[in-house]
């Protein structure tokens, strides 16, 4: 009887609990009465949540009438409703036009967008995830005004990122990346775009000076995704497809190739090189088809889980990226994981830790141009009658008389790969002893081990020209252990309701230690994979090892103040000490200040609120530094080499770099003026900015003076002068919604003008890229420097009139049909003094256009990017049009090249000797307009909500780099390079069109 009573009591209690729960239903719509799918409906204080379906409907069980429901959706104002006795709760969400309340990340803090006084651009992670890229910065292209991104083809390649142009001429131009508050160097290949919550670009020095010596090229702050209190959420994001490699040129077939060479030979007075060209008809070797795959796969996949309670949140993700090369071998694979855990022990004390392990492997042949350049007559393999049965597997290939090594054989021999193992850890402790005072300490440790392996087998294709009679093996292991520690104290308080102030002070330490060991040997007993070890080498073993380190100690502070949300002032100061400089120059100071005036908050603007939602004027000034040079430039270094004497290897030493104890910081100082605006409930918004940057004491490595007695290859680091750049940034946005149809457009526009103000001595010239670029005072750095190709000599009269005042020909070896080089200085001679500026690699404008549309469950995104006004050097012109070499030529060159008066004024006559140096002189013949417009991304998606057991299910089809308009005849108009060697295009690995299917699931 007792047990029956207990059972009855339990049943009654359970029934009471059941009856206490309430099921609430309803519909969520916008102001136009259109249902909103995907709205998060959350029971506050619990982990219970649901999402609205396609019709905006939801049903959720709440524990009692005291429960509160929270309705949230991106782009709308979050609402919280108490249930009371209601079982039906219909909600109308208001558009969230308060974009100024969005949080923006600044150095060592976050602020509301409306409180920002400097030049900062923010991009949400959702905008980046529409593209499948190995390096997430490529997704930024065209989305941020003032940021110029040049894509880089090839698996694992890193794009060039310039924030408001260049700030240095000889050092890296890459910005500093800061991930979750920790400086991570100049590459973020380790991050998947699915891990990113937001990216904030600090464009001016008033914003970036807080990072001092690391910030001369700008700073990109990255916030990764964290867990949120609520039910556990799972996400699966995947895209897979293929990249397309098109043959860049229509090359001559065997018969046409023979005709082209025969013409070149007979034009130079020789017999035909390949008589009876018709005999090669139908005998063209398809090198491209034999070695290059038109399609190569690419896959990007992420699995994530996040959730937690008010005391503990977590986010875990596993990411995989795989991009094959367009050969049968090679590519780039990356596996990363991110584990983030945040704890709130009390209202005053919190902590968190993030672990980011990763593995990468990469390697790919780089000889794809040889598949185009090699002659079409040579077969891939040696004929059977040329084999004697003793050849190894690498010696059965045919040799081309063009001196292009057999590319199929080269790919077969390829064994050059790198593996990277890395673990980064990031932890913080935060304490709020009193209201408004936050003390935070944060540290990061990164361990990395990179192992490079290369094996070169022995082979003999041609005993005189194409062979390696002995095999070799190399291995290099590089280990790095880097740590960062920073502690800050921030106090914020509001006085007399209208005075808001915040002060931050702190200290940071960074230390970087690396070491490597290298081993080499020859004469491995055979070429099998199991024997490809340095210890298996029997001859000429060699090894070396070295280590290096650097460190930075910094003190930081920042004061922010605003009065009545109208007048804002921010000032920061950082003092850096670097181990790369001697005591007298070790420390440098980096101050900054900025102010803004929110004009729209003034009383006299009260009658304009229906039209003008935001109008803010900003001004800023700051100074940042650059110490991105080798660790010990104040020391003289001895290089090592060797000579072979009487068959014996003799080690040698020589002075390689000379000390400069007076080397000092490179300093960048800039000013910025900006106007932010929002009109008609922020349907139209944007930013217009003007900036000017001045770089002083530029760090540069120069040849040591020859009068010193040191060899000509000895170099010395020094400070060479100053440079100034200026320009404007414009961001213009429009967004609207009509019923089920919403749409928006963002336009970015950037200009950069850069000039050298001074060099270390008057009249000094800095050459680059084999003396093909020049940097002088008053001009932009690294402009193309060569002869002016003034058309072709069309007839004998033109040739005879190209003389000095005495009738002496300026081009004595020229013939009709050759290039006429311009006598620029008019002295009647054609010499080095006639070399002049023939182009500039720096664009006048960079434009981005980003469109988005949505109709019910469909969404469409289109991104375009354009570079306008820059020149490029097409180095392929010599390979394609020069009859002096035996490489293959473009199809129909014998008719395209000059072959009679008026037939061409661009492509010179075909000549075996090229005595006029049509192609060996660097001239404007090689310089082309490099402007282009490219469709970066086009994606169509369809989403379902609360179907098949998923909160959200989205499928998409996208194309990347599908269409490019350009007059440039090279392989690809996106060409990077260093400052003094920028814009030299050639057989660069192209940015490839990509077709992808995508799947995004949340549950």
Residues 778 and 755: beta-carbon distance below 8 Å: yes
Residues 667, 153: Cα–Cα separation, whole Å: 33
Tell which CATH classification among 3.30.70.20, 3.40.462.10, 2.170.130.10, 3.40.1050.10 matches the domain 99-226. Answer: 2.170.130.10
Residues 720, 757: Cα–Cα separation, whole Å: 11
Residues 945 and 53: beta-carbon distance below 8 Å: yes
Task: Give me the sign of the Cα torsion angle 209, 212, 218, 220.
Answer: negative
Residue 344's Cα: distance from chain center in Å? 36
pTM of the predicted model, to two decimals?
A: 0.86
Residues forming CATH 2.60.40.1120 domain(s) in the chain:
19-93
- Give the count of alpha carbons within 13 A of 152, CB side only: 15
- Give the count of alpha carbons within 13 A of 963, CB side only: 9
Assign 3-class secondary structure to 82-140.
ECCCCCECCEECCECCCHHHCEEEECCEEEEHHHCCCCEEEEEHHHHCCCCCCCHHHHH
Better-scored residue on pLDDT, 596 or 97: 596
Burial of 3 (0-12, 13-18, 19+ CB in 10 A): exposed
Residue 636 pLDDT > 80, yes or no?
A: no
Residues 750, 145: Cα–Cα separation, whole Å: 6
Buried b (16+ CB within 10 A) or exposed e, 893-906: bbebbbeeeeebee
- Going by C-alpha positions, the residue among 132, 354, 376 that lies closest to residue 254 is 376
- List, in order, residues 6 or more apart from 650 with CB less than 8 Å away: 642, 643, 644
Better-scored residue on pLDDT, 137 or 12: 137
For residue 187, the tally of other CB atoms under 10 A from its CB is: 12
Whole-number pLDDT of residue 1: 44
Residue range 673-677: average pLDDT? 92
The H or E element containing residue 730 is: strand 721-738
- Going by C-alpha positions, the residue among 87, 551, 63, 132 that lies closest to residue 334 is 132
- Going by C-alpha positions, the residue among 576, 581, 573 that lies closest to residue 552 is 576
Residues 566, 599: Cα–Cα separation, whole Å: 7
Better-scored residue on pLDDT, 153 or 461: 461
Residue 314's Cα: distance from chain center in Å? 30
Better-scored residue on pLDDT, 739 or 844: 844
Whole-number pLDDT of residue 12: 41
Residue 825 pLDDT > 50, yes or no?
A: yes
Tell me the three state secondary structure of residue 876: helix
Percent of the chain with pLDDT over 90: 56
Q: Is 315 left (phi over 0), alpha (psi -120 to 50) or beta?
A: beta
Whole-number pLDDT of residue 657: 64
Residues 819, 816: Cα–Cα separation, whole Å: 9
Residue 5 pLDDT > 70, yes or no?
A: no
Assign 3-class secondary structure to 883-908.
CCCCCCCECCHHHHCCCCCCCCCCCC
For residue 983, the tally of other CB atoms under 10 A from its CB is: 24
Residue 19 pLDDT > 50, yes or no?
A: no
Tell me the three state secondary structure of residue 402: coil
Residues 294, 205: Cα–Cα separation, whole Å: 46
Residues 167, 628: Cα–Cα separation, whole Å: 12
Residue 448 pLDDT > 80, yes or no?
A: yes
For residue 14, the tally of other CB atoms under 10 A from its CB is: 10
Distances (CA, A) of 688 to 73, 671, 724: 30, 14, 20
- Going by C-alpha positions, the residue among 39, 88, 87 that lies closest to residue 64 is 87
Percent of the chain with pLDDT over 70: 93
DSSP at 834: G
Radius of gyration, CA atoms only, the chain? 33
Residue range 270-285: average pLDDT? 93
List, as one string, the DSSP characters of 648-665.
EEEEEEEEEEE--TT---
Whole-number pLDDT of residue 99: 52
Quickly state the pLDDT bin for 23 (edges 50, 70, 90): confident
Instruction: Report the DSSP beta bridge partners of residue 1000.
Output: 237, 954
Q: What are phi and psi of 688, to 5 degrees?
A: -125, 125
Whole-number pLDDT of residue 779: 93
- List, in order, residues 6 or more apart from 707 with CB less than 8 Å away: none
Residues 443, 483: Cα–Cα separation, whole Å: 7
Residue 245 pLDDT > 90, yes or no?
A: yes
Whole-number pLDDT of residue 705: 64
Task: Give me the sign of the Cα torsion angle 533, 538, 540, 543.
Answer: positive
Task: Give me the sign of the Cα torsion angle 759, 760, 761, 765.
Answer: negative
Residue 124 pLDDT > 90, yes or no?
A: no
Q: What are phi and psi of 690, to 5 degrees?
A: -120, 140
Residues 772, 984: Cα–Cα separation, whole Å: 10
Residue range 685-696: average pLDDT? 93
CATH 2.60.40.1120 applies to domain 19-93: yes
Tell me the three state secondary structure of residue 12: helix
Residue 609 pLDDT > 90, yes or no?
A: no
Residues 642 and 623: beta-carbon distance below 8 Å: no
Strand 567-578 vs strand 587-598: parallel, antiparallel, or unpaired? antiparallel
Residue 441 pLDDT > 80, yes or no?
A: yes
Strand 22-29 vs strand 466-468: parallel, antiparallel, or unpaired? unpaired
Of the ranges 76-85, 480-489, 648-657, which is most confident?
Answer: 480-489
Residues 878, 982: Cα–Cα separation, whole Å: 19
Residue 13 pLDDT > 60, yes or no?
A: no
- Going by C-alpha positions, the residue among 352, 354, 361 that lies closest to residue 325 is 361
Whole-number pLDDT of residue 359: 95
Whole-number pLDDT of residue 638: 66
Residues 408, 770: Cα–Cα separation, whole Å: 31
Quickly state the pLDDT bin for 354 (edges 50, 70, 90): very high
Length of the chain: 1003
Strand 312-324 vs strand 331-344: parallel, antiparallel, or unpaired? antiparallel
For residue 21, the tally of other CB atoms under 10 A from its CB is: 11
At 296-345, the pLDDT tens digits run: 999 999 999 999 888 899 999 999 999 999 999 999 999 999 999 999 99
Residues 592, 216: Cα–Cα separation, whole Å: 13
Whole-number pLDDT of residue 14: 43
Tell me the average pLDDT of the chain: 88
Residues forming CATH 2.170.130.10 domain(s) in the chain:
99-226
Residue 97 pLDDT > 70, yes or no?
A: no
Whole-number pLDDT of residue 155: 78
Helix-strand-coil split of the chain, %, nearest 5? 15, 50, 35
Of the ranges 214-218, 696-700, 884-888, which is most confident?
Answer: 884-888
Residue 668 pLDDT > 60, yes or no?
A: yes
At 500-512, the pLDDT tens digits run: 899 999 999 999 9
Whole-number pLDDT of residue 9: 44
Q: CA end-to-end span of the chain, whole Å?
A: 47
- Going by C-alpha positions, the residue among 410, 541, 528 that lies closest to residue 466 is 410
Residues 951, 226: Cα–Cα separation, whole Å: 19
Whole-number pLDDT of residue 569: 93
Whole-number pLDDT of residue 2: 46
Residue range 872-888: average pLDDT? 95
Distances (CA, A) of 958 to 32, 327, 849: 31, 24, 17
At 730-787, the pLDDT tens digits run: 999 999 888 888 899 999 999 999 999 988 877 888 888 999 999 999 999 999 999 9
Quickly state the pLDDT bin for 967 (edges 50, 70, 90): very high
């Amino acid at each position: 009887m007792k047990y029956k009573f207990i059972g009855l009591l339990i049943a009654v209690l359970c029934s009471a609990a059941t009856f206490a729960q309430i099921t609430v239903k309803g519909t969520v719509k916008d102001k136009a009465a259109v249902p909103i799918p995907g709205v998060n409906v959350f029971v506050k204080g619990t982990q219970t949540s649901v999402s609205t379906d396609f019709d905006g409907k939801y049903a959720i069980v709440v524990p009692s009438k005291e429960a509160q429901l929270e309705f949230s959706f991106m782009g709308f104002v979050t609402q919280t409703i108490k249930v009371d006795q209601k079982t039906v709760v219909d909600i109308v969400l208001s558009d969230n036009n308060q974009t100024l309340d969005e949080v923006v990340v600044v150095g060592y803090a976050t602020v509301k967008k409306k409180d920002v006084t400097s030049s900062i651009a923010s991009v949400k992670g959702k905008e980046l995830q529409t593209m499948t890229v190995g390096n997430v910065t490529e997704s930024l292209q065209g989305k941020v005004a003032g940021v110029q991104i040049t894509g880089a083809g090839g698996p694992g390649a890193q794009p060039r990122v310039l924030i408001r142009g260049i700030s240095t001429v000889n050092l890296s131009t890459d910005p500093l990346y800061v991930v979750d508050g920790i400086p991570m160097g100049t590459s973020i290949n380790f991050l998947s775009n699915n891990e990113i919550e937001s990216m904030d670009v600090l464009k001016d020095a008033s914003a970036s000076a807080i990072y001092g010596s690391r910030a001369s090229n700008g700073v990109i702050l990255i916030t990764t995704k964290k867990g949120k209190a609520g039910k556990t959420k799972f996400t699966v994001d995947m895209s897979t497809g293929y990249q397309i490699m098109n043959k860049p040129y229509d090359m001559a077939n065997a018969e046409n190739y023979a005709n082209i060479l025969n013409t070149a030979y007979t034009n130079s007075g020789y017999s035909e090189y390949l008589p009876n060209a018709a005999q090669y008809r139908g005998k063209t070797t398809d090198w491209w088809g034999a070695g290059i795959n038109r399609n190569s796969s690419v896959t990007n996949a992420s699995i994530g889980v996040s959730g937690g309670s008010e005391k503990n949140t977590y986010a875990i993700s596993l990411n995989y990226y795989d991009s094959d090369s367009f050969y049968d071998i090679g590519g780039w694979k990356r596996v990363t994981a991110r584990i983030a855990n945040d704890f709130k022990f009390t209202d005053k004390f919190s902590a968190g830790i993030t672990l980011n392990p990763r593995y990468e492997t990469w390697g790919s042949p780089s000889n794809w141009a040889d598949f185009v350049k090699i002659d079409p007559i040579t077969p891939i393999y040696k004929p059977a009658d040329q084999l004697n049965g003793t050849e190894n597997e690498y010696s059965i290939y045919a040799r081309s008389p063009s001196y292009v090594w057999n590319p199929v054989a080269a790919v077969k021999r390829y064994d050059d790969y790198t593996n990277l193992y890395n673990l980064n850890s990031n932890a913080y402790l935060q304490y709020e002893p009193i209201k408004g005072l936050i003390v935070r300490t944060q540290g990061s440790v990164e361990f990395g081990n990179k192992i490079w392996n290369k094996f070169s087998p022995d082979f003999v294709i041609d005993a005189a020209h194409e062979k390696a009679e002995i095999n070799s093996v190399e291995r290099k292991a590089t280990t790095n252990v880097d740590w960062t520690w920073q502690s800050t104290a921030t106090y914020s308080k509001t006085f007399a309701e209208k005075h808001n102030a915040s002060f931050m002070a702190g200290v940071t330490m960074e230390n970087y230690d690396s070491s490597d060991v290298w081993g080499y040997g020859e004469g491995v007993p055979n070429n099998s994979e199991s024997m490809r070890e340095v210890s298996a080498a029997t001859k000429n073993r060699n090894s070396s090892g070295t280590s290096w380190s650097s460190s930075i100690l910094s003190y930081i502070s920042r004061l922010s103040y605003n009065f009545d949300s109208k007048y804002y002032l921010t000032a920061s100061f950082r003092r850096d000490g670097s181990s790369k400089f001697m005591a007298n120059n070790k420390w440098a100071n980096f101050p900054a200040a900025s102010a803004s005036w929110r004009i729209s908050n003034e009383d006299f603007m009260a009658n304009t609120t229906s039209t003008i939602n935001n109008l803010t004027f900003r001004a800023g000034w700051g100074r940042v530094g650059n110490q991105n040079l080798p660790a010990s430039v104040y020391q003289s270094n001895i290089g090592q080499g060797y000579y072979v004497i009487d068959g014996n290897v003799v080690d040698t030493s020589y002075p390689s770099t000379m000390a400069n104890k007076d080397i000092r910081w490179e300093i960048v100082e800039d000013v910025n003026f900006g106007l932010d605006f929002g009109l008609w409930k922020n349907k139209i918004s944007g930013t217009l900015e003007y900036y000017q940057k001045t770089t002083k004491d530029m760090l540069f490595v120069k040849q040591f003076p020859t009068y010193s007695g040191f060899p000509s290859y000895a170099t010395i680091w020094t400070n060479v002068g100053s440079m100034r750049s200026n320009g404007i940034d414009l961001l213009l946005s429009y967004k609207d919604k009509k019923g089920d149809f919403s749409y928006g457009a963002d336009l970015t526009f950037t200009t950069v003008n850069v000039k050298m103000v001074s060099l270390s001595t008057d009249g000094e010239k800095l050459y680059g890229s084999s003396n093909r670029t020049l940097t002088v005072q008053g001009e932009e750095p690294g402009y193309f420097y060569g002869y002016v190709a003034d058309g072709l000599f069309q007839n004998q009269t033109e040739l005879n009139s190209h003389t000095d005042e005495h009738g002496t020909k300026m081009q004595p070896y020229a013939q009709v049909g050759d290039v006429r080089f311009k006598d620029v200085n008019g002295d009647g001679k054609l010499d080095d003094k006639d070399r002049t500026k023939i182009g500039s690699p720096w664009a006048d404008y960079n434009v981005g256009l980003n469109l988005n549309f949505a109709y019910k469950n469909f969404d469409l995104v289109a991104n375009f990017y354009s570079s306008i006004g820059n020149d490029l050097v097409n180095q392929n012109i010599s390979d394609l049009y020069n009859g002096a070499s035996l490489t293959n030529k473009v199809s129909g060159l014998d008719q395209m090249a000059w072959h009679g008066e008026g037939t061409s004024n661009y492509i010179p006559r075909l000549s075996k000797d090229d005595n006029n140096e049509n192609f060996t002189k660097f001239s404007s013949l090689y310089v082309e307009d490099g402007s282009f417009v490219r469709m970066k991304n086009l994606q169509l998606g369809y989403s379902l909500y609360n179907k098949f057991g998923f909160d959200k299910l989205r499928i998409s089809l996208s194309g990347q780099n599908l269409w490019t308009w350009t007059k440039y005849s090279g392989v690809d108009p996106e060409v990077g390079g260093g400052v003094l060697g920028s814009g030299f295009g050639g057989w660069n690995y192209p940015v490839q069109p990509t077709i992808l299917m995508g799947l995004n699931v949340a549950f």
